Amino acid sequence: MHCNFLRLARGELAGALKAQFQSKDIRSVHPVVRVHPETGERALFVNPNFTGHIQELSHREGQHLLDLLYEHLATPTFTCRFRWDSGSIAFWDNRATCHMGPTDVPAGMHRSMQRITIAGDLPVGPDGSASYALAGDAFGV
């Protein structure tokens, strides 16, 4: 299980987005691997902006493992690059997908994003353990 909270110290979020995330105390415990409720597939459920530590490990051991998992998630073999065009729409199932914004957007190009999160099930690990909130809602809604 890993503890989930916004890692503001990383300095990766700025301005209004950072203020929005800071407006609520959101801390949760989630399985590191979750089972998709419809397909039964197992997927990593960690995020470098939100995952604080792995409960069962020392901070040092957990950080080494998380760094390895983050590197694995960003492996080109496991990524899909969406080619944006005027009027494009993209969506994905966050229960089994990690995503990151592109860092190579051409200068002067404007990207507008609308995020919609659908309320759903709580993540459950292979051992049956489910996510739970420590502060606020498990997913900040």
Write out pLDDT tens, residues 46-97.
888 788 889 999 999 999 999 999 888 888 787 777 777 777 887 778 787 7
* Torsion of the alpha carbons at 32, 78, 101 and 103, rounded to the nearest 10: 130
Provide, for the chain, the percentages of residues in helix, strand and coil under a 3-state DSSP scheme, each rounded to the nearest 5.
20, 15, 65
Q: Which structural domain range is residue 56 located in? A: 2-135
pLDDT computed for residue 140 by the predictor:
46
C-alpha span between 92 and 133 (Å, rounded): 24
Indicate whether 141 belongs to any domain: no
Indicate whether 95 belongs to any domain: yes
The CATH number of whichever domain residue 93 belongs to comes to 3.60.130.10
Helix (H) or strand (E) segment spanning residue 18: helix 15-22
pLDDT computed for residue 90 by the predictor:
79
Are the CB atoms for 137 and 23 separated by under 8 Å? no
Q: Which two tokens stand for residue 101?
A: 């914004």
Are the CB atoms for 74 and 45 separated by under 8 Å? no
Indicate whether 26 belongs to any domain: yes
Mean model confidence pLDDT for the chain: 78
Indicate whether 51 belongs to any domain: yes
Q: Which two tokens stand for residue 80?
A: 């899909």
Number of domains composing the chain: 1
Write out pLDDT tens, residues 19-51.
766 677 778 889 999 999 999 999 988 888 788
Are the CB atoms for 37 and 124 separated by under 8 Å? yes
Indicate whether 140 belongs to any domain: no
Write out pLDDT tens, residues 107-135.
777 767 777 777 778 899 999 999 888 88
Indicate whether 113 belongs to any domain: yes
